């Protein structure tokens, strides 16, 4: 009985302390986002700035784009911040999101062994680069998940008229960092967003071997999960985050994020 009374008193005191905290200290929203925004370090750079200005904490669920959108569909996140435009627009069209806003962009690059056994450095375009990998049956590490990067990869294979299969095609079913680690160990080619590549430290003998084709453009969008689908969505705080991200202040924060003196993401809201 004595122990029970102590527990009740402790719980009561804890609740009283929580109630006494400033409202802003208890405010948080959940953002489901692609691994590139988290792994690159972007969120670690911009979220403290947003919290300092608004008092709202942002908790990030880092997933592939497809998983992040599914998290939003279930109502397990207030906001999705991803990079697969066709999927994002479908998410909104089906009523799961309120509106999509452009936020920023970078691009995809193909990395591979510095010796470049498939000769990608001489490729005229991304289609030719992917065809060269398949023709040489050079090892290629694929995320093989439901991510924006894998969506882009599949589109590139399709454009090249290739259905990748065989011992040379390594589907990791993992995030970008793990897939790049696999590419380093093999070594193998891989498609990655530039932001993750610039912040990735375990490069080994890998280098960028193809870049610059306009089809490798990689835009990011942000969407409020529809509170009419899920009444618990923190619409006011979440919209405040979206408004900040696409404001001059948020765009400046994105532009100021660099790794090794190189800018990883470029503002696109305006």
In this prediction, residue 35 carries a pLDDT of: 86
Identify which of 235, 230, 240, 242 has the alpha carbon closest to the alpha carbon of residue 100.
Answer: 242
Note the pTM of the prediction, 2 decimals.
0.84
- At 36, the pLDDT band (50, 70, 90 cuts) reads confident
pLDDT at 182 over 50: yes
Instruction: Please report, for residues 6, 7, 66, 95, 150, the alpha-carbon distance to residue 59 in angstroms, rounded to integers and kept in the order given.
Output: 33, 30, 19, 24, 25
Tell me how far apart the alpha carbons of residues 37 and 81 are, in angstroms, rounded to a whole number: 9
**What integer best gives the mean pLDDT of the chain?**
90
* Strand stretches in the chain, DSSP E: 28-34, 57-63, 79-82, 97-113, 140-142, 169-171, 190-193, 206-210, 217-225, 258-259, 262-263, 266-267
Per-residue pLDDT tens digits for 118-166: 999 999 999 999 999 999 999 999 999 988 999 999 999 999 999 999 9
List the beta bridge partners of residue 206. Answer: 113
Higher-confidence residue of 36 and 236: namely 236
Per-residue pLDDT tens digits for 52-67: 999 999 999 999 899 9
pLDDT at 247 over 60: yes
In this prediction, residue 15 carries a pLDDT of: 32
Tell me how far apart the alpha carbons of residues 226 and 221 are, in angstroms, rounded to a whole number: 15
In this prediction, residue 19 carries a pLDDT of: 39
Phi, psi of 157 (to 5 degrees): -60, -45
Mean pLDDT of 90-98: 98
pLDDT at 7 over 50: no
In this prediction, residue 22 carries a pLDDT of: 44
Assigned architecture for domain 107-216: 3-Layer(aba) Sandwich (3.40)
Phi, psi of 158 (to 5 degrees): -60, -40
pLDDT at 72 over 80: yes
Q: Which is it for the CA torsion 112, 115, 117, 123, positive or negative?
A: positive
- At 221, the pLDDT band (50, 70, 90 cuts) reads very high
Identify which of 226, 221, 247, 254 has the alpha carbon closest to the alpha carbon of residue 54.
Answer: 247
Tell me, rounded to whole angstroms, the distance of Cα 71 from its chain centroid: 14
Mean pLDDT of 240-253: 98
Q: What percentage of the chain carries pLDDT values higher than 70?
A: 90
Residues of the chain with CATH 3.40.190.10: 2-106+220-267, 107-216
Mean pLDDT of 38-61: 95
pLDDT at 79 over 60: yes
Q: How many residues does the chain have?
A: 270
Instruction: Give the CATH number of domain 2-106+220-267.
Output: 3.40.190.10
Residue 106 makes CB contacts below 8 A (sequence gap 6+) with 193, 194, 195, 218, 264, 265, 266
């Amino acid at each position: 009985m004595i122990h029970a009374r102590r527990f009740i008193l402790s719980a009561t005191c804890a609740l009283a302390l929580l109630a006494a905290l400033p409202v802003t200290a208890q405010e948080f929203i959940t953002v489901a986002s692609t691994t590139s925004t988290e792994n690159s370090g972007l969120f670690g750079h911009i979220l403290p700035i947003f919290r300092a200005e608004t008092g709202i904490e942002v908790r990030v669920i880092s997933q592939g784009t497809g998983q992040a959108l599914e998290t939003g569909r279930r109502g397990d996140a207030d906001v999705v911040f991803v990079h697969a435009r066709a999927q994002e627009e479908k998410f909104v069209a089906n009523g799961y999101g309120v509106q999509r806003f452009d936020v920023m962009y970078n691009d995809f690059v193909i990395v591979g062994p510095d010796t470049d056994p498939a000769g990608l450095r001489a490729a005229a375009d991304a289609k030719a680069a992917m065809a060269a990998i398949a023709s040489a049956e050079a090892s290629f590490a694929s995320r093989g998940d439901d991510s924006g990067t894998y969506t882009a990869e599949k589109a590139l294979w399709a454009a090249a008229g290739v259905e990748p299969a065989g011992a040379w095609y390594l589907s990791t079913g993992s995030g970008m960092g793990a897939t790049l680690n696999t590419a380093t160990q093999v070594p193998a080619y891989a498609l990655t967003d530039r932001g993750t590549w610039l912040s990735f430290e375990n490069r080994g003998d890998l280098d960028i071997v193809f870049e610059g084709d306009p089809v490798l453009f990689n835009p990011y969008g942000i969407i409020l999960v529809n509170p009419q689908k899920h009444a618990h969505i923190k619409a006011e705080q979440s919209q405040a985050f979206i408004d900040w991200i696409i404001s001059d202040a948020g765009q400046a924060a994105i532009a100021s994020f660099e790794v090794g003196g190189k800018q990883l993401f470029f503002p696109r809201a305006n």
